[in-house]
Amino acid sequence: MRVTFIKPTLGRMADGAPFVDDARMEPLQLAVLAGLTPRGVDVELLDDRTDRIDYDEPTDLVAITVESFTARRAYEISSEYRARGVPVVMGGMHATLIPDEVAQHADSVFTGDAETLWERVVADAHEGRLHPRYDAPPGSPQAGGVLPRRDLLAGKGYLPLTLLQFGRGCRYRCEFCAVGAYFAHSQYARPVAEVVAEIRSQPRRNLFFVDDNLIADPEAAKALFRALVPLRIRWVSQASVDQVADPELMRLMVESGCLGNVIGFESLDPANLRQMRKGPNLAAFDRYAGAVATLRAHGLQTWAAFALGYDHDTSDSILATAEWAIANRFTFAAFNVLMPYPGTPLYDRLAAEDRLLYDGRWWLHPAYRFNSAAFRPVRMTADELTEATWACRWRWSSPGSIVRRALDRRTNMGSPFRFALYCAYNPLYRREALKRQGLRLGLR
């Protein structure tokens, strides 16, 4: 038996050329699925961002991971295989949040985490009795110490950074967050010994923990950090801003090799934070001055993330967010148009208020463009929100901003490695921001 795993691309440029992601990272979820696949089954991993898909290449089962932004392209790929009589199973975040839609484009839909049911899917497909639906519960990643098939990732031009996971989920209830809806506001962690064994099994020392919130369980995170100290690695992850309230956590984080984290500051307006139910941010809110000072005192390089377009935002307040981020000399920043992901409380609220655009399914609408607003904001038009967010990206990535932000001796110039990291990835971030703006979803 042969199983083909596929990671879809976003879509195509304004001129019709396929989008090529030069900042692509490993599709860890597919490498884990391949690791969960029983021995004796041949596996192939195709990354639509780099590989050409030969639909006539013989295979017995195609497994596609689906995110909202890649749903249109995922359905295109599935259509080609199904026309050739090859069964297709779809899973991932989008499939779990709205399985009924996905079921229209696949022979089987897999909801939840793969660890408990994936072997059964493969066996059922082998015996010709693939079920239309498999519903698995969320749980700890890679149960039993399963290792990802990293050999399938070789030679595909990914950033030189190993992705791995300690836990999944987050205990907070942010209105816009698809992760909270997927994991029912719970967090599941792996045994620390399994994480250490996985790190030792691969050669790199620069790692990215893809956890939705690495410190969702602070005591579990501390246990992990203690175990990482003797490994002498460098790592980054995603974490909530309330990390700064725990001195022991911060100390262990630095001692274990943390370079910095993606932190969702989201908004500089406490009224917005209350509306989005961002509790940890409200607890740390003094326009984040204390939190930023603590991060800088520990030498951590921060990727600040913002959700722009909440009901108290204006074009001016959005542009002020970019100036605040530049003044604080963050290493990177993501200025995101607030997206109503299906299955989230935000989506349901905007639908009830009749504020959704593109017939409510922006991810499939042929007129939708990447980084555009998909709803009607309160204090500006949708186009004004799109333009203000783009202006933030443009201002952030300007040469003057890059030079100004570099000059922070505690963080971006804290060591030759940190400075090299800053200098290498900021121009890459600029190029990718320019390429992605206005991208059409799907290739057709």
Per-residue pLDDT tens for 102-154? Answer: 999 999 999 999 999 999 999 999 999 999 999 999 889 999 999 999 999 99
pTM of the model: 0.95
Above 90 in pLDDT, residue 279? no
What is the DSSP track for 62-107? EEEE--GGGHHHHHHHHHHHHHTT--EEEESHHHHHSHHHHHTT-S
- Domains identified in the chain and CATH numbers: 2-135 (3.40.50.280), 162-441 (3.80.30.20)
Using the structure block, give the residue that is written with the tokens 């100290």: 229
The answer to whether 97 and 90 are in contact (CB under 8 A) is no
Question: What pLDDT does residue 320 have?
Answer: 98
Give the residue among 118, 169, 106 at the shortest CA–CA distance from 139. 169
Q: Where are the beta strands (DSSP E) in 267-424?
A: 303-308, 332-337
Per-residue pLDDT tens for 375-431? Answer: 999 999 999 999 999 999 999 999 999 999 999 999 999 999 999 999 999 999 889
The answer to whether 117 and 134 are in contact (CB under 8 A) is yes
Above 90 in pLDDT, residue 184? no
Above 90 in pLDDT, residue 182? no
Distance in angstroms (rounded) separating the CA atoms of residues 126 and 60? 8
Kindly state the average pLDDT of the residues 170-199: 90
